[in-house]
């Protein structure tokens, strides 16, 4: 049973993620947008333009931030309440995966450049970078 449909334009949605409390959904699309949607009303609360298609999205465990990865090689950490971009971290190629640590203080991201980056959310400091043999997609 479909509970709600939310029209997001003609673009292809590439990634979605629920906030931990299931009140919000983040959607990334091939028209370069991150959209944060209220689940109860279906209203788009925030729209954040990126430099290229948004390949992956993830909410922090406290639901205060959304991390995005895009083909413009950037990981963005966005404040969910305002849509403000708090941090940007550059990869060598398109970003394919993002995930927050349980305490929401650390963010991991993987990219087509076969690198996994571990970043401190508050400072944006790269704590570790791991080179893999193949691209990192999940």
pLDDT in tens, 60-99: 999 999 999 999 999 999 999 999 999 999 988 999 999 9
Residue with tokens 């959209």: 35
Which 3-state string (H, E, C) describes 56-72?
A: EEEECCCCCEEEEEECC
Name the band, by pLDDT with cuts 50, 70 and 90, for residue 138: low
Question: In the prediction, which pLDDT does 9 show?
Answer: 75
Interval 9-48: pLDDT, tens: 788 999 999 999 999 999 999 999 999 999 999 999 999 9
- Let me know if residue 23 belongs to a domain: yes
- Decide if 26 is inside a domain: yes
Q: Which residues span the domain enclosing 49?
A: 13-131
Asked, for residue 6, whether it belongs to a domain, the answer is no
Q: How many residues does the chain have?
A: 138
Into how many domains does the chain fold?
1
* pLDDT score recorded for residue 100: 98
Using pLDDT thresholds of 50, 70 and 90, give the confidence band for residue 3: confident
Is residue 137 domain-resident? no
Please tell me the pTM assigned to this model.
0.91
CA atoms of 138 and 129, how far apart (whole Å): 16
- CB distance 98 to 109 below 8 Å: yes
């Amino acid at each position: 049973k479909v509970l709600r449909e939310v029209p997001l334009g003609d673009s292809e949605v590439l990634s979605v993620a629920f906030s931990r409390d299931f009140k919000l959904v983040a959607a990334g699309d091939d028209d370069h947008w991150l959209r944060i949607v209220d689940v109860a009303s279906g209203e788009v609360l925030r729209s954040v333009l990126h430099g290229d298609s948004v390949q992956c999205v993830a909410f922090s465990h406290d639901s205060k931030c959304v991390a995005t990865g895009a083909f413009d090689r950037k990981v963005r950490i966005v404040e969910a309440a305002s849509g403000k971009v708090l941090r940007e971290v550059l990869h060598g190629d398109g970003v394919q995966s993002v995930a927050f640590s349980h305490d929401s203080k650390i963010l991991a991201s993987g990219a087509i450049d076969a690198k996994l980056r571990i970043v401190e959310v508050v400072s944006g400091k790269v704590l570790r970078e791991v080179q893999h043999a193949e691209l990192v997609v999940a």
